[in-house]
Every structure is written in structure tokens, then in C-alpha cells.
Chain A
Amino acid sequence: MSEILLEARDLARHYRLPRTSLFHPSPVVRAVDGVSFELLRGRSFGIVGESGCGKSTLARLVMALEPPSAGSVRLLGCDLTRLPAGELRRLRSQFQMVFQDPFGSLDPRHTIGRAVGEPLSLLGDADGAARAERVAEALAAVGLSPADRAKYPHEFSGGQRQRIAIARALITRPALIVADEPVSALDVSVRAQVLNLMQDLQDRNGLTYLFISHDLAVVEYVCDEVAVMYLGRIVERGPTQAVFRRPAHPYSRALLDAVPRPEPGRRRRRRQLAGQVGSATERPAGCAFAPRCPLAEPRCRTQAPALRPLDEGRFAACHFAEAMLAG
């Protein structure tokens, strides 16, 4: 078994909203509400869910871009949430991030060479010549020419910019890359190029990915393990193949059912999920998914199911998980 690279324990992030009335306490959004998982070195862990499920907040917590309201994130044995600022900065060379928007994640006024070299220059342990060499190396690794370093972001297409963003994440030779919807903004043909690149880089450098996406097919393609989030909590987690073939949580199944598939002769008429994602401010007493769940029974509305182990190394938070797997 491979070594545990990152361990998140009971992570929570609550935001206080502005008061709606003078006499009521200000509402609290539980964007992430008690999430635990482990990342194994050299593997890919996917987080899927719909907008507002807290997956992007989770990415920021793991990247130590926001302090958690509770819980801890341990990378290589260090608790990121308690590390002094200086040490955290040095440790950042070990975990880098790739963002969704290839047009927004590069400063339009910085050259590509400067953008890619930025994480390195912050570490301060490479002089000018060595840094230039590393930049060229990183650009070559993502299939761009070292001559591109003098250009500005607007001279590149969306796919190329995402390559640049990946080069920038690679330059410190990190162990972990957190990728938040890295291919969602890209066209289909370019998306495949970037996904292939990410896999090649993983094979070559033993990278670990925390891959966040709403696109289940992409997650299945990239990830060894997956966690399905709903309203700030993980409702199911396990090996991607197991979860996607035979979901143990009704929400996972509904998500999978909803994905349109380009298969000849397939007509839509399927189990459909009614309603919409509930609000993260008024979490119901029981299971958060109960109001939309086709299996919900009275006890679901009073008793919140815990995430518990099932077969094949998977976990699900549903009173009917066994029944789901059996039928």
C-alpha cells in the first residue's frame, strides 16, 4: 500500500452571512461540514458534486488558502492549519494548484516566463540562470516551447493557457497538485489533450492529484478514488470503479443517471431527481438529501446517517446503502 500523503480530518468551513434582520442571529453557511479523507501518494482522488456542495471550498482548505472552522489538514505529517506562515510558505513547494479558468488564472500583465517562474522565485533558492532553466524545463514538460516565455497570456488559446497553469504548478516539483475543474472551460478536443498531459505527468513524476470536478466522466477517467459531496458532506467515497458501477448512495446514483451519454439509440426517460439542491444555511435535522430522495423514509428526516464502511473499500452515508447495493 502506498504512503499517505495528505490527510484531512473533520474539516469544516462555516461562513457567517450578513444579518437579514436585526433580531435574528446572522445565518451561517456550512460550506464544508465535517469532511475526512486520505490521499495516497501517486494516486488520484476525485471530488464530485453539484454547485454549492462545497467542493471548491474544500480545495481551498486543502491549499491552506482559507483557515478551516474546525478540523485539520496534514501534508507529509505537518498540520497545515497550525504551521507558522514562514514554514507554510516553504512547504507550499510541495502542493500546488491548477485553477478552472484559463483566462483568469494568469495575470494579463505578466509574461509566461514570469508567471511560470513565480512559485520558484518565492522559494528564493534558485538564481536567475537556474530559474530560467527550470522554467524552460516546465514549459517543455507541458508541450510548450521555451521561446514562449516572453509572450503574454492573451497570445495563447484556452488549452495552451491551461498547459501554462500546469507548468507553473509543476515547477516546484510538488508531490500534490490540487486541480479545481481544470478542464471544465476547455473544448472537447483540447480537454482530451490536457487530461492526457495530466496523466503522463503523473506517470512520469509520481504526482498525486486532488481532482475536483462536476464532470463525472472526467473524474472516472482520471481518478482511482472518488468522493461524492452533497451540501458540505461526503455522502459516498470509494474506488471510482465501484462507486460508478454500483453506487451505494441514492444521490450518487441520481448524479450518474443524469449524465447525458452519446450512445446510439439511447432515449432519455429515466429516474429523475426532483427539486434542487437545498440550502446550506438551513440544514435539516436528518439526512440533507432526504427532501429529494426517492427512498426517503420518516427516520431519514430525523436521524442523519453516518458515513460507514461497506464492501470494496467504500463508504456511504445512507440508511439504505446495503439495499442500494443489493438491488
Chain B
Amino acid sequence: MSSPAALAGRGVLRRALRHPSFASGGALTLLLVGVAALSLAWTPHSAYLIQVRQRLLPPSGLHWLGTDTLGRDVLSMLMVGAQNSIMVGVVAVSIGLTAGVALGLLAAARRGWVEEAVMRLADFGFAFPAILLAILFTAVFGPSAVNAIIAIGIFNVPVFARIGRAAANVVWAREFVLAARAAGKGRLRITLEHVLPNILPILVVQATIQFAIAILAEAALSYLGLGTQPPNPSWGRMLNEAQTMIFTAPLLAVFPGIAIALSVLGLNLMGDGLRDLVDPRLARAR
């Protein structure tokens, strides 16, 4: 015999695996994480070793995806670059999630001028082009991977603030919140015990999608030379370096391009799938 909760858990897992976009997105994301993890222990060659005599080799048995202008192994660089992408995603989304959700919850809990102020701030954040923000940021603090990540994280704050506030407002209007207030609960405890747990699924979905956007943004910044600095491999910088050779060695641009596209696609598919899976209407239909 198993408890109802365990049964429900198993049901969710089964439904998740059957969901086409969640399953395929999850597989791609798993591949990304797996490659990054593997690269910590093993890469076919060093991703940093420059061998000018071996430059621009086509794919072969030795270098599966060939070598770049400086003779580095492209596959190894892609693998190490995956670490970089994941790190960017995790840190940037964490910054956005923490600060944004806190602001959103505050706005929903206090209403009035606090809500007004938070939301106008979010509007301001939205109106400001992300790349411009990042360029400003790196211009002030100097180009580095860390600064790029912080810039992307700041860009995520209004996104989560808005979603957090909208979802929290819905929960605040529910009767069980009124019941908790009637029992004497304060705003902080209601926020932590009732509101946050109930909006978590929505936040998780949004986090997946923001993760993908963060990877893209980092690639764009590195491509502009504002992100990850040499010699650390990054998909965006690989694209940048491939650009000059686009007619002699087009494959150099193709491989990092595919890596970025597949990662973003995987995360987006997973996010869409998650959205379906946590949709309360579908969950209630059981």
C-alpha cells in the first residue's frame, strides 16, 4: 500500500514523461547538464591548448568537430562552454528570482503606494533594453563574465517581480487567505506560508524560460566581447571568433550555433511542458 501523496507523485511523474514537449525538452536539458558535468572530468583535448600548426582542421577522427583559428579542439571548447552557459543561467536566474519575487510578494502584500512603486520600477526595467543595460554595466565595471552575469540577473528582476506580483495577487484574493487573516495571521506569515507555496509552480516555469533567455543573452554579450573573456571558452565568443572566418571555415560558426539553439530549445520546451503539467485546471481534472 502506498500513501495518497506518493500515488499522486507517481502520477505526476508518469504524466510528465508522457508529455511530449516536457520529455523532449527535458532530454535536451539533461544532455546539456550531462555534457557540462562530463567536461569537468574529461574532454577529448584541452580546451585551452593553442596549437597554431593544427589550426582550422576539418572534423576528423582525432578532432571530431575540427579545430579553430588557434588550433584548439572545438568539441572540447563546446563542452567547457556548456559549464559556462549553465553557470550564467543559474546565477542570473537566481539573482532575478530572489530579488524579483521578493519585490513582487512585497507589492502584493502591501498594495497601495508600495505596489505602485515596485511596478513602476519594473516598467522602467522593462523599458530599458537589456543589451544596453549590460553594455552600460560593463562599460562602468569593465568587461568580465561576472559583470555580464550580474547584468543579466538585473534584467531578470522585473520579469520575476511582475509575474510574482500577478500570481500573488490571485492567491491573496482567495478565500483561504481571508480565512488566515480572520485567524489573526500577519502579512509576512501569510506570504510565506500561503502565497509563496501556491505561486511556486508558476515561478519554476518562468525560471526555466528565463534560464534559456540568460544563455542567449550571455552568448550575445560574449559575442560583443562584453562577456566571458579569453581564454575561457564561451559559445558566444566562439561565434564571434568564427565570424571572421565565416567563408573559409563556416563549420566553426555552425557548431556553437547549434549548441546554443539546442539548449535554448530544450529549456523552452521543458518550460512549456511544465506549464501544462502544473496548470491547476489540468491538475484538478486529475
The interface of chain A, by Cβ under 8 A from chain B, is: 63, 65, 88-89, 92-93, 96-97, 99-101, 104-110, 118-119, 122-123, 151-152, 154-155, 165, 168
Q: Is B188 at the interface (CB under 8 A from chain A)?
A: no
7 contacts between A and B (CB under 8 A): A65-B182, A92-B182, A104-B176, A105-B176, A107-B197, A118-B183, A118-B185
Q: Determine the main DSSP class of B at the interface with A.
A: helix
CB of B213, distance to nearest CB on chain A (Å) = 29
List the count of A-B residue pairs having beta carbons below 8 Å apart. Answer: 57
- A99-B175, A151-B4 known; A107-B198 Cβ under 8 A: yes
Chain B hits for A99, CB < 8 A: 175, 178-179
Chain B hits for A168, CB < 8 A: 179, 183
- Are B179 and A105 in contact (CB-based, < 8 A)? yes
- Are B198 and A122 in contact (CB-based, < 8 A)? no
Q: Is B163 at the interface (CB under 8 A from chain A)?
A: no
Q: Is B61 at the interface (CB under 8 A from chain A)?
A: no
CB of A120, distance to nearest CB on chain B (Å) = 9
Q: Is B224 at the interface (CB under 8 A from chain A)?
A: no
Q: Mark B160-198, 1 if CB is under 8 A from A, else 0.
A: 000000000000001110111111110000000110011
- Are B4 and A65 in contact (CB-based, < 8 A)? no
Chain B hits for A88, CB < 8 A: 184
- Are B194 and A119 in contact (CB-based, < 8 A)? no
- Are B179 and A165 in contact (CB-based, < 8 A)? yes
* Residue in A104, A110, A122 whose beta carbon sits within 8 Å of that of B183 in the complex: A122
- Are A104 and B197 in contact (CB-based, < 8 A)? no
- Are A119 and B176 in contact (CB-based, < 8 A)? no
- A107-B194, A151-B4 known; A97-B182 Cβ under 8 A: yes
Determine the distance from Cα of A101 to Cα of B175 in the docked complex, in whole angstroms.
Answer: 8
- A105-B176, A107-B198 known; A92-B4 Cβ under 8 A: no
- Are B180 and A118 in contact (CB-based, < 8 A)? yes
Chain B hits for A152, CB < 8 A: 4-5
Determine the distance from Cα of A243 to Cα of B178 in the docked complex, in whole angstroms.
Answer: 32
Q: Which B-chain residue is minimally distant from A108 (CB atoms)?
A: B198
- Are B184 and A65 in contact (CB-based, < 8 A)? no
- Are A96 and B198 in contact (CB-based, < 8 A)? no
- Are A63 and B182 in contact (CB-based, < 8 A)? yes
- Are B198 and A109 in contact (CB-based, < 8 A)? yes
* Residue in B178, B179, B184, B198 whose beta carbon sits within 8 Å of that of A89 in the complex: B184
CB of B179, distance to nearest CB on chain A (Å) = 5
